[in-house]
Structure 1
């Protein structure tokens, strides 16, 4: 009895038990759903930020690539910019002039702040802006010189710059390398405009200079560029104190004041020889965080309200009458059958209509509520089932997409089992190999490989892959297709996880590199051969010649080297074009093959230079081969554009070991012998002799040639003026312009020492134009000072071969606004007679501009009077050999008088040279000569005589 009373005192009503139980259940469900929703929002936010970071990475790469493309275009445009000069400048001076004239445009409008120009030997010729280091020099300069293609580099020291180097062409060959650079800060500004985020560029600085502005001690980095309100230096300092820099590659969040910042680091360069640099993007994600937290609070509020409302409804239901227990017990099986409608009808009949309800009535009502809940849960289960089926369908679509990608990708994709049998093969592989698993179900991977590639190493590596003792393996090998075609494939094998025996164990991806390998073979051939003539080039010739000399030394044989070039080959290029010159070189190569043995070594060294090395050859045999070459080339006749070109060669011969035992010595001596052959009259051969002093002569010529080139570059030629007197009235209004070359010590080199060398080396044309430019400029100054002076300017004997002289003269006359009638051009009689048609045409064209001509050294030729009639000259300068002894030599007096009368008959005036005394001057007046020139009248001086 006491026990029953105790149980009654501890009784808790069923309604409260059910209320507590269901409340806990609702709280658990609400908390779970709220937590899941919060985690889902957080996951979505992280996914969104990941996509943003990937987008930022693409934007950074895009801007860097865009900067590269823009710099590449600018680098190609710079040499083509117009400059305000008519001078002939080399490339370095030309680029310097462009930068001087367009520097502001390049820096302000195009953002370029660094320009360098290097020779093709990597020597710096021009520098504007910041210097580049040796590491970048290797990356930017050596790469372009070796490959003749653009290169790019991103370098950071005190500042970050992007550089682009391009080859600069002159004609058909590379003349140098142009490097342009731009501050990465400009790219930072463009990136900030795109992203509207804070941007900072950090450079590794281990100097520890904490006092330096922008130095972040925890990171050992220095800020070189900063933009955006969120990227202030104060925030970066706080970030450096709280976050390790290594974590920023995956981005980190930083709480500063009331804002949440996301900081992501992107490496700008990873060159170990340079200063590492990173680009930081700082974005304010406070709004995203606040949105997520607000949604979380809303979910909690809704959940609590839902729980309270549910508990209220449960209370209302529990306070109502319960169905009878028996009817409830008979109703419960209906729930197992999911017959919820019948269960609800059954529960209605359990309701007690009396005023009061007992616990059984409350149980019935609770069961009815349970019916509703179970029905709702069943509906949710059905919805989730449909969602699961939909997700399964999506996964199937993704699988089909991957399969389609494998079938359309232009790469071989094969999976192998542990025994090497192919498990799957994609469509491209089937097309390339002509194998498929339908017709070859038991195809083994090793069957694809060429037998020569089944070496022990490859077999062992593939075995290790299939047996899980090797994870990765890469090799290049040939395969044999089903139709017998051989292709070269670069294979990349990777081990896969295997759960069953028939699962794929190895994934093999292959790239067809057949065409690339063929291209590499072609490049290897080009490295040793001249592509125009298909002969060995200079590099290969040196290698083979060295091997020939080693063999000759070992067996005691003698050998010979013939070094030759084609005479007047430049004239063919100038008159008929480089295509005709190239065709002629190919014909020469064919003819050389016809007169040489297979054992001989034949090469084109460059331009029109060839070399022939003869094995086991005596002096007489070498001379005989040289004569055969000259005979064979003499038969060559190429008609081009109405011109018939005949060629000849000057050949230098050296013998091994008589004239040298090394390749450089033999090549140098052969070159000297070749120059001896040219000096002997061309179309000749010359055997080298150690007793000759030609080396010293050529070295002297080379030294003077270099002096001329340097003087042309610096325009260190000075003009002297020798007065010419009009004999009738003694007036001097006419001066001959003479040129002197200025030495470094200030001394003057007379023209007799450098003019012949300038003519033989082709520099005379530039010298003619420089003298013409200086003379016209001086004439302009005299005319502006109201001084009426006539200049007589000497033109070289090769002037008729210079097509640029006439346009240059027109340009200078138009620029300086001088009277063309005050210019007289002197041409020697021998030069005019050597090509009288061309000389006459040139004279007529220049005279059409208003200028005049004088025929110099007249009288030394046998047909002087005949050519006096043919050439449109205004003055005739009597050669000094007839004037020096005029006072004492009756024959000279007769000749000068006759010449003066004939000249007057043709309407031309005469000038006597080498007038040394007053007696000669008086005699010239009696003989009818119009003008006199010589030391008696005046010596050549840098200034004109006063009026």
Structure 2
């Protein structure tokens, strides 16, 4: 009896333990179920046939399916159709061989929305086909990936045109060179500069300018072959890399097609815009051993195309490289000279009364005498200074030197005297130009009324409203304003009457043939009539003969300058000339 009781006790204890274990298992199951249901991460339980047997609410929210709709639904059918054939075989093979897989899947929801999920899959070591054999964990990374892609796109593509930028262009260029090297062919580089884009951008606004760049980019891309990489290099410049070229004729045809793509006008915001381009061409191998050299040589060829009249193309030649090298060494010397200004001096060309020959004022002009080069022509270094922003410090130095030297002469002679100083386009666009002028006048003590600033009409017309603001600021300081090289730009009375001008200078190109060319004579007469209607003082430039002088005088022109009266003089020579004040030429 005692043994039976002990056996029964053992059975009861074992039963209790089993019940406790079952309760614990139920509790554990309930806990896991609760975790499964409340998890914010989408989870799917999948059987050995890769069918869904259970999903949590987060999965339903992500996919927009109810659990009942996808019971025993093939899990691979959740992958977007365009990615399924690529992704699922790799996933299935990894699960069957290694029991786990992780990576990025492109899934598709109930409404067709495609989203990307960072996916982790683990085997549960359960062979029962009705039970979960795999657990899929998903994390929606769609927005995260889109942000990454946008950042990557931004680092490789131009924000305005969406063409490859320098980074991607360089990568494609190097690949093209490698491919051509492997095939024994050539790679052509087209360096494309838009003609006159700056005027369009300044006069019509940057919004239209940006849209024009976008439309130009589309035409270039549609015109050139799909193997060609078209990129926006900078500003209004583009590049095109054509790989695997067999001969120059292919390149020539590509350049001609690129030029022709801009023949049709652009319709942008109801404005009809015409623009052309100039193209420089070089090729590898032959025109350079590296990307930097090839770009530099193609740029030289493009500049040659612009010098040849624009709207054309030019192949690189060794003499262009020599010119480019000479230009670079000239720039180096110019930069050194600007550091001290010891090699610069100012010369003055008298401006005289055409009736009396008395000197009324003078134009200040800069000269550069390099120790090795000798006297460097302004036609050489002024455009270079403009391109490299050196014209701003040079212009300020000329202005201060002229004010200082003419003040010294005026103080010594007790005769106030006016001097004219040219403002370059870059100087005029400097936001602090009025402050620079004020600073020079303050440092030199020069009377503002004795200073005349010369600005070209084309420069004023590039952005009329901004020009008006600057000119009125300068005028308020007391300086005189002169429009230089008149007749070469817009020459519109409607525009000119808005500007606070004092003087108008007739460009020398009209004066040169005024006695032999009826068109030039008519132009000069029209300019003088316009100036009289505006109450402007007129200076005729480039007077070299008595006939020039007499013609202008007869048409009512008051003042003139040119070699008929005097070449530009150094300050010492100018002082001697100025003492005479009533100088006459031998012809008189």
Q: Same fold (TM over 0.5)?
A: yes
Question: Partner residue of 1:587?
Answer: 215
The answer as to 2:516 corresponding to 1:859 is no
Residue deviations 1:684-715 (CA, integer Å, cap 9, x gap): 2212233x2x2222233344446667877988
Question: Partner residue of 2:91?
Answer: 454
The answer as to 2:229 corresponding to 1:577 is no
Residues 760/731 of structure 1: CA separation in 2 closer, same or farther (3 Å cut): same
Residues 831/515 of structure 1: CA separation in 2 closer, same or farther (3 Å cut): same
Match of 1:412 among 24, 36, 42: 42
Question: Partner residue of 1:679?
Answer: 307
Residue deviations 1:34-61 (CA, integer Å, cap 9, x gap): xxxxxxxxxxxxxxxxxxxxxxxxxxxx
Query: 1:755: Cα distance to partner?
Result: 1.4
Residue deviations 1:858-915 (CA, integer Å, cap 9, x gap): 83243364234434653636636x3xxxxxxxxx44554x147437x44x23456476
Residue deviations 1:385-443 (CA, integer Å, cap 9, x gap): xxxxxxxxxxx9xx99x969974x75336789999999985432221134666677778
Question: Partner residue of 1:697?
Answer: 323
For the Cα contact (< 8 Å) 2:301–2:315, is it kept in 1?
yes
Query: 1:568: Cα distance to partner?
Result: 1.8
Question: Partner residue of 2:60?
Answer: 430
The answer as to 2:580 corresponding to 1:939 is no
Question: Partner residue of 2:382?
Answer: 755
The answer as to 2:444 corresponding to 1:792 is no
1:49-64 paired onto structure 2 within 5 Å: none
Residues 508/619 of structure 1: CA separation in 2 closer, same or farther (3 Å cut): closer
TM-score normalised to structure 1 length: 0.42
Name structure 2 gaps, 5 residues minimum.
1-26, 125-129, 457-482, 515-519, 580-588
CA–CA distance in structure 2, aligned partners of residues 720 and 665 of structure 1? 38
The answer as to 2:365 corresponding to 1:738 is yes
Residues 491/811 of structure 1: CA separation in 2 closer, same or farther (3 Å cut): same
For the Cα contact (< 8 Å) 1:827–1:856, is it kept in 2?
no
Residue deviations 1:502-549 (CA, integer Å, cap 9, x gap): 999999754201233344445555555445444444444444444444
Query: 1:832: Cα distance to partner?
Result: 1.6
For the Cα contact (< 8 Å) 1:826–1:855, is it kept in 2?
no
Structure possessing the higher relative contact order (Cα contacts under 8 Å, 6 or more residues apart): 2
1:538-687 paired onto structure 2 within 5 Å: 538-558=166-186, 560-607=188-235, 608-613=237-242, 615-638=244-267, 644-660=272-288, 663-687=291-315
Query: Residue 310 of structure 2: SS of its match in structure 1?
Result: coil
Question: Partner residue of 2:489?
Answer: 835
CA–CA distance in structure 2, aligned partners of residues 640 and 443 of structure 1? 54
The answer as to 2:140 corresponding to 1:512 is yes
Query: Residue 613 of structure 1: SS of its match in structure 2?
Result: strand
CA–CA distance in structure 2, aligned partners of residues 936 and 492 of structure 1? 84
Residues 827/546 of structure 1: CA separation in 2 closer, same or farther (3 Å cut): closer
Residues 830/641 of structure 1: CA separation in 2 closer, same or farther (3 Å cut): farther
Query: 1:619: Cα distance to partner?
Result: 2.5
Question: Partner residue of 1:902?
Answer: 554
Query: 1:762: Cα distance to partner?
Result: 7.2
Query: Residue 419 of structure 2: SS of its match in structure 1?
Result: strand
Residues 646/761 of structure 1: CA separation in 2 closer, same or farther (3 Å cut): farther
CA–CA distance in structure 1, aligned partners of residues 322 and 281 of structure 2? 19
The answer as to 2:535 corresponding to 1:870 is no
Greater Rg over alpha carbons, structure: 1
Residues 773/456 of structure 1: CA separation in 2 closer, same or farther (3 Å cut): farther
CA–CA distance in structure 2, aligned partners of residues 716 and 758 of structure 1? 17
Match of 2:451 among 800, 813, 823: 823
Query: 1:833: Cα distance to partner?
Result: 1.8
Question: Partner residue of 2:517?
Answer: none
TM-score normalised to structure 2 length: 0.63
Query: 1:834: Cα distance to partner?
Result: 0.5
Residue deviations 1:457-480 (CA, integer Å, cap 9, x gap): 4556656xxxxxxxxx96444556
Residues 751/559 of structure 1: CA separation in 2 closer, same or farther (3 Å cut): closer
For the Cα contact (< 8 Å) 2:36–2:56, is it kept in 1?
no
CA–CA distance in structure 1, aligned partners of residues 215 and 196 of structure 2? 16
CA–CA distance in structure 2, aligned partners of residues 810 and 852 of structure 1? 23
Residue deviations 1:46-87 (CA, integer Å, cap 9, x gap): xxxxxxxxxxxxxxxxxxxxxxxxxxxxxxxxxxxxxxxxxx
Residues 939/779 of structure 1: CA separation in 2 closer, same or farther (3 Å cut): closer
The answer as to 2:513 corresponding to 1:879 is no
Query: 1:487: Cα distance to partner?
Result: 3.6
For the Cα contact (< 8 Å) 1:876–1:911, is it kept in 2?
yes
CA–CA distance in structure 2, aligned partners of residues 743 and 492 of structure 1? 73
For the Cα contact (< 8 Å) 2:346–2:402, is it kept in 1?
no
